[in-house]
Amino acid sequence: MILEGLVTTTDAIGGMHLAPMGPIVDAGFRTLLLRPFPSSQTYRNLADHGEGVFHITDDAALIARAALGKLELTPEYRPATSVKGFVLTDCCRAYEFRVRGIDASGERVQIQADVVGGVSFRDFLGFHRAKHAILEATILLTRRHVLPPGEIEAGMRQARIIVDKTGGPAELDAMAFLETEFAGAP
């Protein structure tokens, strides 16, 4: 199953890099298959340091801002316990992992990783319709370079309808952010 979340890795100077990612996870959450693009900072960090943390979060706005490179503030974090890395403290769960193997022969790198530790902060109750709509609209905007503008515009309109019907203040703010990003896109 693919599970959308956030990955923190350590950059060349020891700082935290945060990126959204949807790894393939096994049912027991013992392994992850991460599939970053070869040009990504996440790939470079994992190739260099071989450790990271995958976070399950219920904050769709944080995923959206991270995906579009528009984080205004670094989320609160603490050091990981089983790897040299960073655990976001306002997530639901964090899974610390070590890279077991990297296959960089395809369009997307395949990184096999073993979960070696983790922490649970609170229950993940799931995403309601508005949060799902925020995630889907975010994915559309990250694919602006390959999707026709009309398809993105239609998806954004549908997301707005869902957010207006089922969202709260956080989702309304996130949707406004995404619409601003869409309007400002080249």
pLDDT in tens, 44-98: 999 999 999 999 999 999 999 999 999 888 999 999 999 999 999 999 999 999 9
What phi-psi label fits residue 52: left (phi over 0), alpha (psi between -120 and 50 degrees) or beta? beta
Bridge partner list, 31: 114
Q: Which residues contact 37 (CB under 8 A, 6 or more apart)?
A: 43, 107, 108, 109
List phi, psi (to 5°) of 123.
-65, 145
pTM to 2 decimal places: 0.89
Topology (CATH) of 5-120? Pnp Oxidase; Chain A (2.30.110)
Helix count and strand count (H, E) for the chain: 5, 9
CATH superfamily of 129-183: Hypothetical membrane protein ta0354_69_121. (1.20.58.290)
